Structure formats: structure tokens, C-alpha cells
Amino acid sequence: MGAIVGGGMMLAVEQGDIGVVGLAASGILVAVAVAISLWRQLGLERSLLWAALRALVQLLAVGWVLQFVVDPDDPLFLSALWIVAMVSFAAYTTSRRAADVPKVLPLSLLAYTASAIVVLGVLFGFGIYDLEGRTLVPLAGMVIGNSLASTVLVSRQLLIAATEQREVIEGRLALGLSATEAFRPHLRQALRTALVPQIESTKAVGIVFLPGAMVGLILAGVDPADAVRVQVSVMYLVLGSVATTTAVMSLGISRELFTPAQQLRRPAQRTDD
């Protein structure tokens, strides 16, 4: 597929520049949402304005920093640093949102790192994209950002299974099954729960919705055929990264839930040794 976002992007910057006035005008749509909230007494005005403002400030800040990170003259060092920061932040967020999961922080660090290595390794190793800050940073962002929700979900699912299905799991252990065998049905179920929504949205793409990356490229003036190829590679990237992250995470958590003597730990013991 070779460097599919070659010259198009330069053109995009010209055509896709909506300017400060344009940006302010798009704020009218936030006003519409606020008006609806007021009209139907939803009480969401403050949340809406705060969310819109936060998104603006965060993205402006990111955009400013990205200028330096994706500079073609930069030797990828800043890009790498940026990815480390993203992985760390994703792991921190996961550990906050699945706080009861044993060893959640080191496991999620491992999961996001493994996923980034595998997925970026394929994308750059096969020359699908040219390795530079401009491609590395956003693709790593797609890997990590899209895996976050599934990783939190699979972590919580496993913990719920270990708690609510305790009798069934111990029933299998009592028959002389190993911890791996006793937990396998629950592991499978949690992974399916995390992956199926991703598979469903992959199936519906193009029919039910047009994905953001493609919309962005088309708005920015890229030929739709090029935009489609970029989008397809991004969707495969997302599938691969979600599968990798959730697999690493769930195998790690499964190990932490049991002792070496094939016993299901109790919640109070999960922080032991």
C-alpha cells in the first residue's frame, strides 16, 4: 500500500483550514445543544459548555505540542517520548477506572506497550506508512485510545466473574482442574464481551456511519479513495490493538486472581504477596 497519505495531506492543510472565524461559527452548534437542553430542561447546559470548552483547550494544546513532535526534522525522539506519555496516561486511566483489579497498573502498562509494539510493528515494518513523527504519533494514539475502553471493560468483567462466579470456579477447582482450566470459560466470555462491539462496529462501517478519520480526510480535501484506504488500515489497526491489549490484560489478570496452589484469591488477599 506504500505511504498512502503522501501528498494529499499538504493539500489538505490548505483546503481544510477553516480559520478562527469558521471555528467560532461551528460553536453555534454547541449553542443549539445548549438551547435544546434549556428548552427541555435537561440541566446539561453547564456540562455541555464545559465539555465543549475543554475539548477546544485540550485539542489546541495538543495541536501546539504536536507541531514540535511531528516536525519532519525531529529525530523521532520527541515522538517516542510522546508515545511513552500516552501509554503511561492510558495505564493510569485504566488503573483508576478498574481500581479493584489486582496489579492493574503494571498489567495495563504491559498491555498497551505490547499492543503498540505489535500494531506499530506491522504498520511500519511492512512499510504501510512511512515511519515519521507525523504518522507515528497519531497511529500510536489510535492504538492506545481505542483500546482503552475495551481494556477497562475486560478487566472489570474478569473481576466480576471472579467474584460472582466464585462457586462455579471453585467447583471446577475442586474437581482437580487447574486455575487456567477452571477460569477459561469466564476468560473467554470476558474477551468476547470486550471484542464483539468492536467487531460489530467494524461490520457496520460505511453503512451505518462514516468513521471520523475518513470524514476528517475528506473534509480536508483528500480524494475519497485515498481516505478509504487510510480508514480501512486504521480500522484494522483498531481491531488488532483491541485484541492484543485485551488478550495481554486478561491473561495477566487471570494469573493474578489465582495463587500458585490453584486457589481463587479472595478480594482481601489480592493485594497480598
Q: Quick check: helix, strand or coil at residue 25?
A: helix
Q: Is 247 in the site for other proteins (CB under 8 A)?
A: no
Is 173 a binding residue for other proteins by CB under 8 A? The answer is yes
DSSP class of residue 258? B
Amino acid identity for residue 17 in this structure: D
Nine-digit cell at 262?
Answer: 490453584
Rule CB under 8 A: say whether 273 interacts with other proteins.
no
- Point out which span in 53-61, 152-160, 162-170, 193-201 binds other proteins (CB under 8 A): 162-170
In the set 15, 47, 58, 269, which binds other proteins (CB under 8 A)?
269
Q: Which residues, 6 or more positions from 44, have their beta carbon under 8 angstroms from its beta carbon? A: 37
Q: Binders of other proteins: how many residues, by CB under 8 A?
A: 20
- Residue 26 near other proteins by CB under 8 A: no
User: Dihedral sign, CA of 214, 216, 217, 221?
Assistant: positive
Helix (H, G, I), strand (E, B) or coil at 234: helix
Closest of 89, 81, 101 to residue 155, by C-alpha: 101
| 178-197 binders of other proteins (CB under 8 A) | 178, 185
Question: Is there binding between residue 171 and other proteins (CB under 8 A)?
Answer: yes
Least distance (Å) between residue 164 CB and other proteins = 12
To other proteins, the closest distance from the beta carbon of 257 in angstroms equals: 14
The three cell numbers of residue 3 are 505511504
List interacting residues with other proteins (CB under 8 A): 167-168, 170-178, 185, 259, 261-263, 266, 268-269, 272
